[in-house]
C-alpha cells in the first residue's frame, strides 16, 4: 500500500515499501506513467527514487488534499509489470588504463581480473533512479560476488564516463567528479550531453548491458563522441503487458 508524505508545501512523496528491489521500482515507475497519462492539473514534475515518487505541484492550481485523492485513485491495482523501459547495450572498456580498480576488486572478491569483467558485463542492470550528478544512473542489481563497500578513501577526481561499482549498485560518472566507488572501466558513450535532447541518455526503468571493447576501439569511439557524432540507440523501447 502506498504511503503519502508531505515534503514542504509544493511536493508530495508517494512511498512504496522499505527496500530496494525491482518490484518496488516498478510500482514507482508505473505510478509516474499513470500520473503523466492522467494530466492532473497543477503537477509540475515527478521524480522517481529507489522506493518513492516525489510529485512537485503548484498549490495555487491544486490543493494538497485534492492531489492526494487523485493520485490515490491512480495507485489502485498498481502492478510493476506495467512499467516502461528501454534496453541499451553500452560499449565499455575494462582496460587497466581506464579501469584502475579491476585488479583490486579481483583480489578482494577472490576472482581473476577477467572474471570480474565477465561477471560485470554479463549482467543486465536495471536503472532505479537518476541523481547525485546530472544523469548519473543508479543501476542494480550487481552480482553478489562483486558487492563491495565504497572505497575507504574517495578519489578527489574521477573522469566522466567512468563505470564504477559499490555495494549492490553499478553506475557511470557523467561528469568529472569526486567519488568513492570502485572504477572498473570507462565508456565512450556520453551518458550526459548538453548537445542532446534530453541531455541524459538513461532513465529510470531502462535496462543496461555493458559490451566489453578493447582500448583502441574505446579511443576510436571516444573521438567520434567528442565530435558529437556518437548516436547510440536503444535496442528496444516497449511497454510490458
Rounded CA-CA distance 7/196 in Å is 32
Annotate 184-201 with DSSP letters as a single string.
EEE-SS-SB-TTSSSSBS
The tally of domains found in the chain comes to 2
**Interval 212-234: pLDDT, tens:** 999 999 999 999 999 988 889 99
pLDDT the model gives residue 107: 98
Do 59 and 103 share a structural domain? no
Mean pLDDT of the chain: 93
> Exposed, middle or buried by CB within 10 Å (0-12, 13-18, 19+), for 158?
buried
Arithmetic mean of pLDDT, 170-186: 98
Do 60 and 134 share a structural domain? no
Residue that is last in its domain, among 82, 100, 131: 82
The reported pTM is: 0.91
Q: Which domain holds residue 28?
A: 3-82
Please tell me the least confidently modeled range out of 18-27, 129-138, 149-158: 18-27
Rounded CA-CA distance 50/40 in Å is 23
Q: How far is CA 99 from the centre of its chain?
A: 20
Say what the alpha-carbon torsion angle 210, 224, 159, 128 is, to the nearest 10 degrees. -40
Do 89 and 77 share a structural domain? no
Rounded CA-CA distance 185/54 in Å is 33
Amino acid at each position: 500500500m502506498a504511503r503519502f508524505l508531505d515534503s514542504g508545501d509544493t511536493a508530495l512523496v508517494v512511498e512504496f515499501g522499505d527496500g530496494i528491489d525491482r518490484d518496488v521500482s516498478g510500482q514507482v515507475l508505473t505510478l509516474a506513467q499513470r500520473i503523466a497519462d492522467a494530466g492532473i492539473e497543477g503537477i509540475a514534475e515527478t521524480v522517481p527514487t529507489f522506493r518513492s515518487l516525489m510529485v512537485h505541484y503548484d498549490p495555487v492550481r491544486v490543493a494538497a488534499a485534492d492531489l492526494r485523492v487523485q493520485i490515490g485513485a491512480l495507485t489502485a491495482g498498481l502492478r510493476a509489470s506495467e512499467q516502461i523501459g528501454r534496453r541499451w547495450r553500452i560499449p565499455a572498456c575494462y582496460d587497466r588504463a581506464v579501469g584502475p580498480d579491476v585488479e583490486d576488486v579481483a583480489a578482494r572478491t577472490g576472482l581473476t581480473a577477467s572474471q570480474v569483467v565477465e561477471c560485470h558485463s554479463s549482467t543486465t542492470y536495471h536503472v532505479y533512479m537518476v541523481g547525485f550528478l546530472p544523469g548519473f544512473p543508479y543501476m542494480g542489481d550487481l552480482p553478489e560476488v562483486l558487492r563491495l563497500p565504497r572505497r575507504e578513501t574517495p578519489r578527489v577526481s574521477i573522469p566522466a564516463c567512468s563505470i564504477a561499482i559499490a555495494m549492490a549498485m553499478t553506475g557511470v560518472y557523467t561528469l568529472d567528479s569526486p567519488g568513492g566507488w570502485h572504477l572498473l572501466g570507462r565508456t565512450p558513450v556520453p551518458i550526459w550531453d548538453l548537445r542532446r535532447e534530453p541531455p541524459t541518455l538513461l532513465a529510470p526503468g531502462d535496462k543496461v548491458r555493458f559490451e566489453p571493447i578493447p582500448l583502441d576501439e574505446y579511443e576510436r569511439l571516444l573521438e567520434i563522441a567528442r565530435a558529437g557524432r556518437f548516436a547510440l540507440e536503444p535496442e528496444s523501447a516497449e511497454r510490458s503487458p
